[in-house]
């Protein structure tokens, strides 16, 4: 059985409607025609170009002026849309498409664009290689909403309608799917609004692309071995990876507070294209003997029943992880994953730094991989290990003028440089105070104790929140924050805590995408406040001169993603990562490669990917037995 996901292009994968309106405007201007209302142009998106121009010009499709309009538009498309293609890709699309492919779903495109235009746009956006079949308006006799586009895809892949789903942002997409007997997912972030989409009776309505991915992976039927003998190796591999992510036989921590990272490594290695059999061998070696020299521990039985009346009492108490899993498992079955996350995440975001950010990584990477059970574990771990960064203490200030994240970081680095002895002594006194209300297991930890004490006490500079946190587009903030934490890592390559900030940012981005749009700035604020707490807790700060020098090297440095030498270098990095016992290194390569692709080949991510870390030595406090 072949499982197929069909995607519309404009307004579903790529945020091109605004650029399309602009291209139509250029076409009308060069034709000498009167401009059209942008709303009228947007209403034609999803129709073939001939139909759109005929409707907007009020002429038959065979009128020469319609053909002229199409030609003028295609020229504008090359000059207006294609150069901006990478920046127009919707959040979560590259990562989500990768997750679907890893889950064994065949990706296809059914678009009202001409085939060559759609092919060029996907290539310019860096997505073309992900799709097996592309059907454009000129590939069929009857374009959408006629079912021919969907049926042609099914025919080419020898697939059945019940094993396919169509994702689109217009009623044309949804009606095509319905006519072809295919399930459909309507996305609300494109051209048509939710009421209009619901009038076309979609199977499901999604607000974000990660939600689309989770729905597809959770609902498209899997085949049995007898049904799919021609692709049994691929199916077995996908099942092997899913089985590792669905495993419930091990506790989330071992030897006290050390996080069981093995599922993070599975996601990273699968995302890097490592063979499932090698991933399974890695998994089995890790659970037998972790890099810390001890095995992971068996799962523990729940000790109580957790419900909506008492779950808040367990936040940050490091008690009864299994009961928290049972609670969120039950609530997800009742509410569905999107609603469960929207309901409980806002209360948990402030504790994202807990367990050295591994709870956040567990949840965010589960959403990246589209695995339900791992996501249940992740949100339960977020509650279990919650360490509050206290975003309620923040005060927005414009005292330092307009800033970007990098500017804000350099300002704080200069503040540390100017006051280094006093700040270092203050941090050490804070850490040496063991009378505060800190969980005993965190005292045994060392690093987690430092972070817990710093965030509990705080510092005024941590809570001076620059205006970009609330005012800037969150997607731009994540991109800029990704650059600055990578800059920090290159200033101190191999630093264990700084590496976590990069892999946690990848997770926070996925978590934020699961929230309603108006709540996403809160995720950015929590991340910014939390990383400052982590950086302050170390008792030192990267030197501003070094950060500035590195920024001058990498700020505008770009790799040509089509140059084969960079593909070879990534192959070498992936090969190195696959041999590493320290699981943070494949995670590093996975995240840096995703950022490199996302930014069109920004060199800093390729360079940082090669800066592997080593498993840290456990502090002397580990000579004491675990507390929990």
How far apart CA 96 and CA 180 sit, in angstroms, is 25
Please list, in sequence order, all residues whose beta carbon lies within 8 angstroms of the beta carbon of residue 232, skipping any fewer than 6 positions away: 225
What's the token pair of residue 46?
């999803």
Active site residue 628: no
Q: Is the dihedral of CA 548, 552, 554, 555 positive or negative?
A: positive
For 93-111, give the DSSP string: HHHHHHHHHHTTEEEEEE-
Residue 110 backbone dihedrals phi, psi, to 5 degrees: -125, 105
Active site residue 8: yes
For 112-156, give the DSSP string: SS-HHHHHHHHHHTT-GGG-SEEE-GGGSSS-TTSTHHHHHHHHH
For 370-401, give the DSSP string: T-HHHHHHHHHHHHHT-B---GGG-EEE-TT-
Please identify which of the residues 8, 320, 513, 559 carries the catalytic annotation. Answer: 8
The CB density around residue 611, as the number of other CB atoms within 10 Å, is: 18
Give the CA distances from residue 494 to residues 100, 409, 605, 620, in Å, rounded to whole numbers and listed in that order. Answer: 32, 20, 14, 22
Smallest Cα–Cα separation from 52: which of 12, 138, 112? Answer: 112
What's the token pair of residue 156?
């080419």
* Mode of pairing for the β-strands spanning 3-7 and 258-259: unpaired
Please list, in sequence order, all residues whose beta carbon lies within 8 angstroms of the beta carbon of residue 421, skipping any fewer than 6 positions away: none
Q: Are the C-beta atoms of 595 and 605 separated by less than 8 Å?
A: yes
Tokens 């090669």 correspond to 610
Smallest Cα–Cα separation from 336: which of 487, 509, 218, 506? Answer: 218
* Mode of pairing for the β-strands spanning 183-187 and 164-168: parallel
- For the chain, how long is the longest CA-to-CA vector? 85
Residue 187 backbone dihedrals phi, psi, to 5 degrees: -105, 135
Residue 40 backbone dihedrals phi, psi, to 5 degrees: -70, -35
Q: Are the C-beta atoms of 625 and 306 separated by less than 8 Å?
A: no
Tokens 């969150």 correspond to 474
Q: What is the DSSP letter of 619?
A: P
Q: Are the C-beta atoms of 103 and 370 separated by less than 8 Å?
A: yes
Give the CA distances from residue 28 to residues 22, 61, 591, in Å, rounded to whole numbers and listed in that order. Answer: 10, 16, 44
**In the sheet that 183-187 helps form, which strands lie side by side, from edge to edge?**
133-135, 105-110, 3-7, 164-168, 183-187, 204-206
Residue 237 backbone dihedrals phi, psi, to 5 degrees: -65, -45
Give the H or E element holding residue 166: strand 164-168
Q: Which residues are catalytic?
A: 8, 10
């Amino acid at each position: 059985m072949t499982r197929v996901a069909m995607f519309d292009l404009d307004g579903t994968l790529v945020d091109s409607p605004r650029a399309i309106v602009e291209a139509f405007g250029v076409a009308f201007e060069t034709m000498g025609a009167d401009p059209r209302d942008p709303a009228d142009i947007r209403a034609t998106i999803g129709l073939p170009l001939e139909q759109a121009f005929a409707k907007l010009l009020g002429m038959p499709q065979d009128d020469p002026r319609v053909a002229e309009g199409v030609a003028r538009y295609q020229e504008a498309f090359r000059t207006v849309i294609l150069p901006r293609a990478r920046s127009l890709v919707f959040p979560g699309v590259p990562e989500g498409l990768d997750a679907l492919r890893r889950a064994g779903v065949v990706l296809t495109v059914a678009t009202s664009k001409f085939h060559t235009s759609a092919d060029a746009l996907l290539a310019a956006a860096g997505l073309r290689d992900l799709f097996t079949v592309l059907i454009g308006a000129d590939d069929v006799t009857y374009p959408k909403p006629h079912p021919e586009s969907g049926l042609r895809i099914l025919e080419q892949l020898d697939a059945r309608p019940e094993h396919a789903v169509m994702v689109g942002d217009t009623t044309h997409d949804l009606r095509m799917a319905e006519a072809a007997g295919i399930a459909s997912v309507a996305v609300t972030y494109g051209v048509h609004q939710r009421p209009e989409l619901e009038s076309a009776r979609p199977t499901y309505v999604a607000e974000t692309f990660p939600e689309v991915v989770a729905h597809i992976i959770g609902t498209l039927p899997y085949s049995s071995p007898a049904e799919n003998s021609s692709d049994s190796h691929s199916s077995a591999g996908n099942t092997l990876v899913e089985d590792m992510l669905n495993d419930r036989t091990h506790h989330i921590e071992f030897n006290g507070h050390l996080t069981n990272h093995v599922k993070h490594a599975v996601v990273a290695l699968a995302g890097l294209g490592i063979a499932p059999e090698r991933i399974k061998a890695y998994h089995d070696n890790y659970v037998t003997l972790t890099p810390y020299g001890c095995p992971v521990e068996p799962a523990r039985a729940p000790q109580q029943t957790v419900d909506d009346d008492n779950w808040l009492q367990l936040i940050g108490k490091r008690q009864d992880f299994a009961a928290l899993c049972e609670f969120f498992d039950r609530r997800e079955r009742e509410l569905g994953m999107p609603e469960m996350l929207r309901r409980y995440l806002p209360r948990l975001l402030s504790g994202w730094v807990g367990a050295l950010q591994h709870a956040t990584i567990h949840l965010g990477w589960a959403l990246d991989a589209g695995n339900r059970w791992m996501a249940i574990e992740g949100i339960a771990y977020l509650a279990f290990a919650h360490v509050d960064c206290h975003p309620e203490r923040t005060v927005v200030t414009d005292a330092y003028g307009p800033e970007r994240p990098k500017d804000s970081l350099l300002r704080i680095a200069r503040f540390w440089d100017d006051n280094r002895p006093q700040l270092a002594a203050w941090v050490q006194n804070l850490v040496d105070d063991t009378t505060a209300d800190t969980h005993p297991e965190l005292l045994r930890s060392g690093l987690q104790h430092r972070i817990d004490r710093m965030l509990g006490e705080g510092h005024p500079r941590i809570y001076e929140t620059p205006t970009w946190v609330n005012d800037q587009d969150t997607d731009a903030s994540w991109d800029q924050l990704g650059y600055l934490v990578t800059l920090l890592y290159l200033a101190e390559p191999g630093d264990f805590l700084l590496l976590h900030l990069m892999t946690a940012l990848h997770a926070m981005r996925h978590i934020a995408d699961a929230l309603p749009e108006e709540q996403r700035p809160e995720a950015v604020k929590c991340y910014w406040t939390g990383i400052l707490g982590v950086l302050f807790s170390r008792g030192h700060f990267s030197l501003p001169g070094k950060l500035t020098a590195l920024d001058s090297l990498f700020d505008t440095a770009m790799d040509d993603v089509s140059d084969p030498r960079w593909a070879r270098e990534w192959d070498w990095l992936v090969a190195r990562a696959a041999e590493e016992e320290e699981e943070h290194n494949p995670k590093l390569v996975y995240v840096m490669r995703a950022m490199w692709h996302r930014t069109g080949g920004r060199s800093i991510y390729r360079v940082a990917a090669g800066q592997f870390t080593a498993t840290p030595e456990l502090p002397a406090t580990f000579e004491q037995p675990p507390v929990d």
